Structure 1
Amino acid sequence: MSTDAAGTWSTDDIRAKVEGLLPALRHDLEDLVRIESVSADPARAGEVERSAEAVAELFRAERFDSVEIVTAEGGAPAVIAHKAGPAGAPTVLLYAHHDVQPENDHAEWDSPPFEPTERDGRLYARGAADDKAGIAAHLGALRVYGDDLPVSVTMFIEGEEEVGSDSLPALLREQQDKLSADVIVIADSGNWDIGVPALTTSLRGLVRVDVTVRTLTHAVHSGMWGGLVPDALITLSRLIATLHDDRGNVAVAGLHSGPAADVVYPEERLRAESGAVPGIEWIGDGSAVERLWTKPSLSITGLDAPKVDGASNTLVASARAKISLRVAPGDTTENALACLRAHLEAHVAWGAELSVSVVDTGEATQIDATGPAYDAARTAFTEAWDGTEPVDMGVGGSIPFIAEFLEAFPRASVLVTGVEDPDTRAHGANEGLHLAEFERVVLAEALLLHHLGEL
């Protein structure tokens, strides 16, 4: 490996090194993917533990100074490893998670979900992208330098991200000294498109509640009492209908909205990536990315009511819906929950009994992506993608643990990156990693470490 006169790696050498290490890196990724580390399945808790040990062994093989598997408050195992760089160099924390979503119905997959299979330039399997490829990307960037790291590196590989990271706040408190860093790279997001990198700078928060409406103590005959007594399904339907205005904007007063980056989301791409049926009209006002990234959204994701088949001819006594409210960056879950609860209480019709129970919440994130670390990242991304500058991207979904990092390490620069692209299908059947983009991600992170070492 050649170096320039200053003793630093050249960009061309880093690129060549990444290309050479990819076959072994992919082999390690495939071995991780074969471990069924589904954190939501208690029957596979042993697989989650086996996954943590496999990750730890990868770091031991890279001669990390320390490698340990830790837990907090009975949570899933996480891996913390540290490798020192030059004296005085910044410390970079590299985050990913080794747990994965359930694979659900195997019949929906075109190949076995835990047997990595390549088709048309993608590697298909559960966790191939989200987020075991994040682990592999970190590992690949480190392998470029071996024991000649330009920065000190701490690896933090979590084991329960897919079930809400409940023990993460405690883990951050207990391990704060070991996890303290100047720069934190969170590899759990994605890029704007194939060939267009991105830094994720905002994510919506989440408030989920179960809403129950009751109009009767028991079901009664619809012919005997219909026309006088309201049934719970009609009452719940009327309540749900108040949650949006006629254009589809969320009609809950007091929620925050904000501007989005000046990014055009082409209509054809919107329709292809959303899976919208032909002729469907978009809801809400504002640009597409504002509606997806920086405005609240509200969906009904579940409904408890009698099935149509076999339903009796009676008035339904109670009905329940699960409401998922995505909270815009700049808002808080406390405010959003209070506004939603006030709206429901004000709009429930005909004196029906209403109960609202909180399922879970997660704070929104807004990152001020300015400063030397972000400049270094943008330079690295532009180099890795052959001159294409990264987009500052929002994400409509929620990754609440990012807010936990920002709170725990307020002085650190937090960079949210990732390996996903618009067709990754994370959490769904046929999750796939675009292999050419994965190579660019590894290269970009290796270049980022190089540039951070120069600061």
Structure 2
Amino acid sequence: MTGEAMNVETIRERVNDDWNRIVAMLSDKIALASVSAQGITGEHMKRSAQFVADQMKLVGIDDAHVVQSENPDGTPGAWEVVGSKVVDPQAPTVLLYAHHDVQPVPDRAAWRTDPFTATTVGDRLYGRGAADDGGGIAIHSGALHALGGDLPCNIKLFFEGEEEMGSPSFIPFLKAHRDEFESDVIIVADSGNWSASIPSLTTSLRGNTDVDVTVKVLEHPVHSGQFGGPILDAVTLSAMLISSMYDSNGDLAVPGLESQEPVGGLQRDLDEATFRADSSTVPGYRLAGTGSLAQRVWTKPSVSVIGFDAHPVDGSFNVIANTARFRLSLRTAPAQDPAEAQKALADFLVSHAPFGAQVSVANGENGMGWAMDPDCKAVGVAEQAMSDAFGVTPVNKGEGGSIPFIPELQRLFPQAQVIVTGPEDPQANAHSPNESISLSGLRNNIVTEALFLSRYAQ
């Protein structure tokens, strides 16, 4: 492409002129209550997808449309939004990703506002999906509108309808629509920034896997007075087994689970006081593990007990539990194969059965981690765009969570440069009550993406 990139002042002015439309669009999106957990094939999800497609037509993607995906077993899948715009066959192509489904709201009483009515309080817009990932849709919409007829690169869209459900039909859909994903750069707007005023690229994502563990000590429950002492109950044995995974510092001590340093180097460690406040740790709790706080969250493995089957306290009686079952969620280092980590964890648990109890492990699903290429062209252009839009140097960061489709995209399109951005910040409360988005941060994110699209093609 020839020609000059647009300057930041012009783009910011265009975004400001378009601001009321952007906020209204995000507010309307929140009101659609596109909760994929209520059925990815439902009419509410089709309605959400059509709304997003219509909005993308308004900003120049004339062929934006809705397509229903298909699950691996051939059953109907999620409603997806796809589209493209070719400005020059010789220009680079950028794929814009976001998802239009949102998390459920299990407890409306925990919200200070109606979760499906957009409510502005100060600089923040509250509502389910305001940040995750209505904000991502708003970034793409605002950036395309700001560039308008000055768009210098080709655009492809993929807005997913089942990200919050683990994307079961994503790979079949991708393979069936390969041409709609072929691109030079993929922008995944489903992450966030260091803060509302400090931008970030996401440098890495941990992988994930889970296992269900059953601990058995007796063929049936027995009286705790008659047999207690020589025989420990299965819940106690489970606690012993879980604790055996850790050393005295709280680091995982499971052979075969890998750690790595923050990708691209650690620019700034996480602030412990902020981390404690955001996570709501109780007074006196000592953070587990060693190394930088960022490494512990971003690139070292972690295990959480996310489910436990045991007799409830109410209605309990004096028997020794013969079995117990619990589920472990393992977050893996970005570069480790999750199947390899899953096997290492399962082998450890079986071999460390306390007091010879029977331990069996059922393997769950695996999701690969991902690491950014810090030296690719797209990263350099994106970092400069962030610096110009926000007025401060970006502080890149990893994420402790997992987005398994990103490594799948990278695997299937190895030539594409993937950058992960997004509208969230530490106060966004994505997946939690009182989800919100910083409006000033959203505005700067839109300017950033418009600058990137304008400059990358030069």
- The bucket for the TM-score relative to the shorter chain is over 0.9
Cα deviation, residue 225, structure 1: 1.5
Cα deviation, residue 352, structure 1: 2.0
The answer on whether the counterparts of 1:100 and 1:162 sit within 8 Å (CA) in structure 2 is yes
Q: How many residues align?
A: 449
Q: Larger deviation: 252-261 or 443-452? A: 252-261
Cα deviation, residue 369, structure 1: 2.2
* Structure 2 SS opposite 1:123: strand
* Structure 2 SS opposite 1:23: helix
> Can you list the C-alpha shifts for 1:202-252, whole angstroms capped at 9, x where unaligned?
111111111111112221111112123332112111111101111100111
Whether 2:370 is the aligned partner of 1:365: answer yes
Counterpart Cα distance in 2 of 1:232 and 1:179: 50
1:233-272 equivalences in 2 (<5 Å): 233-260=235-262, 261-262=265-266, 263-272=268-277
Q: Which residue of 2 aligns with 1:346?
A: 351
The answer on whether the counterparts of 2:429 and 2:435 sit within 8 Å (CA) in structure 1 is yes
Counterpart Cα distance in 2 of 1:436 and 1:8: 24
Segments ≥4 residues shifted beyond 4 Å? 5-8
Q: Which residue of 2 aligns with 1:29?
A: 26
Counterpart Cα distance in 1 of 2:47 and 2:133: 16
* Structure 2 SS opposite 1:190: coil
Q: Which residue of 2 aligns with 1:130?
A: 132
Q: Which residue of 1 aligns with 2:324?
A: 319
The answer on whether the counterparts of 1:200 and 1:417 sit within 8 Å (CA) in structure 2 is yes
Cα deviation, residue 170, structure 1: 1.1
Cα deviation, residue 7, structure 1: 5.9
* Structure 2 SS opposite 1:419: coil
Q: Larger deviation: 294-303 or 62-71? A: 62-71
Counterpart Cα distance in 2 of 1:370 and 1:140: 28
Of 380, 387, 393, 1:389 maps to 393
* Structure 2 SS opposite 1:218: coil
TM-score normalised to the size of structure 1? 0.96
Counterpart Cα distance in 1 of 2:4 and 2:41: 48
AA of the residue aligned to 2:430:
A
AA of the residue aligned to 1:336:
A
Counterpart Cα distance in 2 of 1:325 and 1:145: 42
AA of the residue aligned to 1:293:
W
Q: Larger deviation: 52-61 or 130-139? A: 52-61
Of 103, 106, 117, 1:104 maps to 106
Counterpart Cα distance in 2 of 1:6 and 1:401: 35
1:286-435 equivalences in 2 (<5 Å): 286-386=291-391, 388-435=392-439
> Can you list the C-alpha shifts for 1:396-437, whole angstroms capped at 9, x where unaligned?
111111111111110011010000001100000000001000
Of 70, 88, 91, 1:72 maps to 70
* Structure 2 SS opposite 1:259: coil
AA of the residue aligned to 1:47:
H
Counterpart Cα distance in 2 of 1:418 and 1:63: 22
Of 447, 450, 455, 2:454 maps to 450
The answer on whether the counterparts of 2:233 and 2:321 sit within 8 Å (CA) in structure 1 is yes
The answer on whether the counterparts of 1:38 and 1:44 sit within 8 Å (CA) in structure 2 is no
Cα deviation, residue 62, structure 1: 3.1
> Can you list the C-alpha shifts for 1:23-62, whole angstroms capped at 9, x where unaligned?
1111011111111111112398221111011111112233
Q: Which residue of 2 aligns with 1:276?
A: 281
Q: Which residue of 1 aligns with 2:95?
A: 93
Counterpart Cα distance in 2 of 1:60 and 1:43: 23
Counterpart Cα distance in 1 of 2:179 and 2:116: 36
> Can you list the C-alpha shifts for 1:97-137, whole angstroms capped at 9, x where unaligned?
00011111000000111111111211111000000110111
* Structure 1 SS opposite 2:116: coil
Counterpart Cα distance in 1 of 2:17 and 2:58: 18
Cα deviation, residue 6, structure 1: 4.7
1:177-188 equivalences in 2 (<5 Å): 177-188=179-190
TM-score normalised to the size of structure 2? 0.95
Of 151, 157, 161, 1:149 maps to 151
Q: Which residue of 1 aligns with 2:168?
A: 166
Cα deviation, residue 169, structure 1: 1.1
Identity within the alignment, %: 42
Counterpart Cα distance in 1 of 2:352 and 2:56: 56
Counterpart Cα distance in 2 of 1:63 and 1:148: 11
1:198-209 equivalences in 2 (<5 Å): 198-209=200-211
